[in-house]
Structure 1
Amino acid sequence: MTDKDAGTPRVFLYRHGETEWSKNGRYTGTTELELTAHGEAQVLASGAIIVGPGKLVDPTKLAHVFVSPRRRAQKTFELAFGEHGKQLEQEGKVSETDRLAEWGYGLYEGLKTHEIREGRESRGLDGTGWDIWRDGCEGGESAQQVTERLDDLIKEIHSFQAANMHGEKACDVVLVAHGHLLRAFTKRWLKYPMEFPLSMMLEPGAVGVLSYQHHNIEEPAFLIGFGFPIHE
């Protein structure tokens, strides 16, 4: 691999595979759930397609992989990266971080959206409909608290990537985490406040891609479409 092959740095957002609660829409923060058999299959399928030498997520081009401390994320990393993950660990390029733990749902843990809204209304909290991006979670995290921990992670990622905007050094980053958290990360990457109305979807076992415009650390962007590596 030559220097120019590295390209503008990217951040890959890898959501963990399906669990029983993600399947039925229950908010899962600190509760430790295993992947379903279907969830494992989702991750193995996406990993086989995009992770590996010459593929979209090329282990030789990674500066670091950050993984949530929850077991469902740890298992997703293990399944998606396989032997490549073990090599990255040996190279000190994998770390577990609480900054990628799912949003702390507090009293809303294990509930569905309509149950949360009904409960809040019964307690006289609001009648307009709960919005996690604006209201946060009772007994859990506020949008500001999630913002602060994600901004700290973004600052660290920028420290890897700022000097390599033109591919001077391969420094892609992978985040293995959760649905709400990775969407929150995307908002902060783009410098939007949490309450900014940016509708996003990220399926279990799916991968999103963030990068920069014009090779500029001050112009973060998301890739709404990306080209796969060319094999010559």
Structure 2
Amino acid sequence: MAPDKDAGTPRVFLARHGQTEWTIDGRWTGSTADIPLTQFGESQISSSAGRLVGPGKLIEPEDLAAIFVSPMQRARKTYDMMFEPATREKLLGKVDFTADLVEWGYGDYEGLRTAEIKQLRGQRGLNAKDFDIFKHGCEGGESPEQVTERVDKLIIKIRELHAPNMHGENKACNVLLVAHGHILRAFTRRWLGYSIDFPLSAMLEPGGIGILSYQHHNIEEPAFLLGMALP
């Protein structure tokens, strides 16, 4: 079997936390509602981790140079469940529980469903029909510019880590992010060099794993892995 010529290119793994009660209800869960995973949400993480995380698997602990985790309990629990206790102990010095990955601050929209948000905006004379958080932000919460600022800070840190290792010079150069749906989609847009309101329709299911990397081993060509071969 021919070797994977891109295997040495640094990668960023995106891990979304598992299901919560508000996920089931379709309620927007931002930076103020710190609610736990459901039992099913925990099973989602166990299932994904069992298949994708561990020695010889997609997310190889020894290949991680840094792990950035939202400090919200649903993200912290997801991180804890992704790795065995002994592995977490070894990774401790690489983990940063950072506010840069807290979910988008929904402000007045916290706990509401999308239909309720549109109704509220209509009552306030704001664009309702075409509401898009990546364009309009949230009343009383964060604007797209504020979210852009914090994910860009994180991208700069990661690029500085990756730049000397574009050809696998240091095997341990991958990065893991454990966070939330909207903030990870915002991160993806900015990783690819698009404005945060770029119409990129992207999905990341609760408990899901996504992958970002680079084309041609080039730090100036960030990309997402649409598909990859597994040995």
Q: TM-score normalized by structure 2?
A: 0.94
Is the 1:5–1:167 Cα contact (8 Å) retained in structure 2?
no
Within 2, Cα distance between the matches of 1:127 and 1:71? 32
* Aligned counterparts, 1:72-111, within 5 A: 72-83=74-85, 84-89=87-92, 92-111=93-112
Q: C-alpha displacement at 1:42, in angstroms?
A: 0.3
SS at match of 1:176: strand
Within 2, Cα distance between the matches of 1:85 and 1:25? 32
Within 2, Cα distance between the matches of 1:36 and 1:222? 30
Cα pair distance change 1:220/1:37, threshold 3 Å: same
Quote the residue 1:123 is aligned against: 124
Is the 1:6–1:169 Cα contact (8 Å) retained in structure 2?
no
1:204 aligns with 2:206: yes
Is the 1:42–1:204 Cα contact (8 Å) retained in structure 2?
yes
Within 2, Cα distance between the matches of 1:106 and 1:194? 19
Q: C-alpha displacement at 1:95, in angstroms?
A: 1.0
* Aligned counterparts, 1:1-232, within 5 A: 7-30=8-31, 31-83=33-85, 84-89=87-92, 92-170=93-171, 171-228=173-230, 230=231
Is the 2:9–2:165 Cα contact (8 Å) retained in structure 1?
yes
Percent identical across equivalent pairs?
59
Within 1, Cα distance between the matches of 2:203 and 2:63? 27
SS at match of 1:57: coil
Is the 2:78–2:178 Cα contact (8 Å) retained in structure 1?
yes
Within 2, Cα distance between the matches of 1:127 and 1:78? 39
Is the 1:14–1:177 Cα contact (8 Å) retained in structure 2?
yes
SS at match of 2:84: helix
Count of aligned pairs between the two proteins: 224
Is the 2:119–2:128 Cα contact (8 Å) retained in structure 1?
no
List runs of 5+ in structure 1 lacking aligned partners.
none
Q: C-alpha displacement at 1:21, in angstroms?
A: 0.5
One-letter code aligned to 2:13: F
Cα pair distance change 1:5/1:129, threshold 3 Å: closer
One-letter code aligned to 2:159: H
Q: TM-score normalized by structure 1?
A: 0.94
Within 2, Cα distance between the matches of 1:195 and 1:6? 31
One-letter code aligned to 1:64: A
Is the 2:6–2:217 Cα contact (8 Å) retained in structure 1?
no
Q: C-alpha displacement at 1:127, in angstroms?
A: 4.6
Q: State the Cα deviation string for residues 40-88 of structure 1 (Å, max 9, x = none).
A: 0000111111111111000110001100010000000000112322220
Q: C-alpha displacement at 1:166, in angstroms?
A: 0.2
Q: State the Cα deviation string for residues 191-216 of structure 1 (Å, max 9, x = none).
A: 11111110011000000000000000
One-letter code aligned to 1:110: G
Is the 2:107–2:138 Cα contact (8 Å) retained in structure 1?
yes
Structure 1 consecutive aligned stretches of length 4 or more whose deviation exceeds 6 Å: none
One-letter code aligned to 1:45: S
Is the 1:63–1:93 Cα contact (8 Å) retained in structure 2?
yes
